[in-house]
Amino acid sequence: MGYEKTLKLEHRGMRAMLPEVKRNAGADLDVRDFFPSGNDVLDRWRLRRFREYQSYGFPVWRRVGLTSFEPPRVEGYRGLENIDEEGLALLEELDFEGSDRKFVLMADVFSMAGEYVVVSSPQEKVVVEVDQDVANSLLDLRGGDLTLVRIVRRERFVGNLRVKVREKARFKLVNLHLVGKGGTSIDNVFLDVETGASVEVYDFYSGGRVNVGFLAVRFSGEDATAKVRPYYAVSSGSATDVLYQMRFYGRRNEGTVDSKGVVTGESKVVFRGVLDILPGAKDTVAHQRNHTFLISGSAKAEAIPSLFVGENDVVASHAHSSSPLDETAVFYLMTRGCSETEARELLIKGTFEDLREELRNFELEAVLDHALEGLV
């Protein structure tokens, strides 16, 4: 069975050519790192993926300066060990490429944390702190209303999260990446959204020398909505590369990506947005917006939007921009008593105010404030 590619290469009979990703033949995990899970069905699946895993090297990502990748130490398997045939079928259905297939496969085969959960409770809120360097989770949301706060506070990280949001279910994800200063984090999130379901995502990136994020929403049914709000605070020489993808198969789905962030010092953000409206996805509404505040002269922001529209009756837009802080707003705040530094701090923190408001529900504002320290 094929997996969901990040960029579909065929549209209206046109075929696009993508340059081959350069790969690195450095040290890699091997069969000695493959620990049995105790679940034979799962392990057969893992072994198949392990073979695919071995067929690629690590990608060379020049944009974020990732030229080699040091694999994590694997000390056992944890993740989907309680999965059954039904769960495995779902896993196949939610197979995807992510920012790079290699890392999706790594988390599938070598995870040391994660779970397979079937949820259908009327209303539930869960806070999970990922406590291993490699993690893999599968969530089957069969109904009801689930809020998941997922905290990745690690030096290094490779992770997958797959979520099936079934008919009329509601899912909110608050995904916080707080990576250690010199660290590398690669997170791949794939959401499949069925008819009438609704999804809301707050996705926050901070820290790391290399911080790579991928989040896809696949609208497989009709009349569903997804609101994705990415935030990033990039400082201390970090390179953050995030990709948000929405792919519309069914009709009357509505998806928005509304993103903002702050880049300081010698740091860089690459924001990729992919909106992919397939033939037949009539009455799709798809909007994508991104603004970056560049706090220093050497901070960089690059936006790479892709919009594929294979259907006529749709509304789609994307807008990407960057600017320094608004000096008239700085002055305004100064006339209200703030020093220049305090005014800038208020404006920078203000960029994340909606996220802070959301975190307040879980008494997690301090996590954000801590991540924003030293940004000014």
Residues of this chain that interact with other proteins (CB under 8 A) are: 326-329, 331-340, 342, 346-347, 349-354
Q: Which is nearer to other proteins, 60 or 338 (CB)?
A: 338
Q: How far is the CB of 346 from other proteins (least distance, A)?
A: 5
Cβ-contact 250, 195 below 8 angstroms:
yes
Cβ-contact 72, 184 below 8 angstroms:
no
Q: Hey, what amino acid is at 53?
A: Y
Q: How far is the CB of 134 from other proteins (least distance, A)?
A: 35
Q: What are residue 90's phi and psi, to 5 degrees?
A: -65, -40
Q: Which is nearer to other proteins, 32 or 336 (CB)?
A: 336
**Nearest-angstrom CA–CA distance, 266 and 247:** 34
Q: Which is nearer to other proteins, 313 or 340 (CB)?
A: 340
Q: Which is nearer to other proteins, 104 or 333 (CB)?
A: 333
Q: How far is the CB of 335 from other proteins (least distance, A)?
A: 5
Q: Which is nearer to other proteins, 6 or 351 (CB)?
A: 351
**Nearest-angstrom CA–CA distance, 85 and 40:** 11
Q: Which is nearer to other proteins, 240 or 351 (CB)?
A: 351
**Nearest-angstrom CA–CA distance, 118 and 154:** 27
Q: Hey, what amino acid is at 30?
A: D
Q: How far is the CB of 289 from other proteins (least distance, A)?
A: 14
**Nearest-angstrom CA–CA distance, 236 and 258:** 25
Q: How far is the CB of 338 from other proteins (least distance, A)?
A: 6
Residues 6+ apart with CB under 8 A from 114: 78, 79, 80, 130, 135, 136, 137, 138, 159, 160
User: How would you label 29-51 residue by residue, b for 16+ Cβ within 10 Å and e otherwise?
Assistant: beeebbbebebeebbebbeebbe
Q: Which is nearer to other proteins, 75 or 327 (CB)?
A: 327
| Angle, alpha carbons 271-275-281 (nearest 5°) | 170
Q: How far is CA 178 from the centre of its chain?
A: 13
**Nearest-angstrom CA–CA distance, 52 and 347:** 47
Q: How far is the CB of 339 from other proteins (least distance, A)?
A: 5
Q: How far is the CB of 320 from other proteins (least distance, A)?
A: 17
Q: Which is nearer to other proteins, 145 or 342 (CB)?
A: 342
Q: What is the 3-state secondary structure (H, E, C) of 26-38?
A: CCCCCHHHCCCCC
Q: How far is the CB of 326 from other proteins (least distance, A)?
A: 7
| Angle, alpha carbons 200-204-208 (nearest 5°) | 155
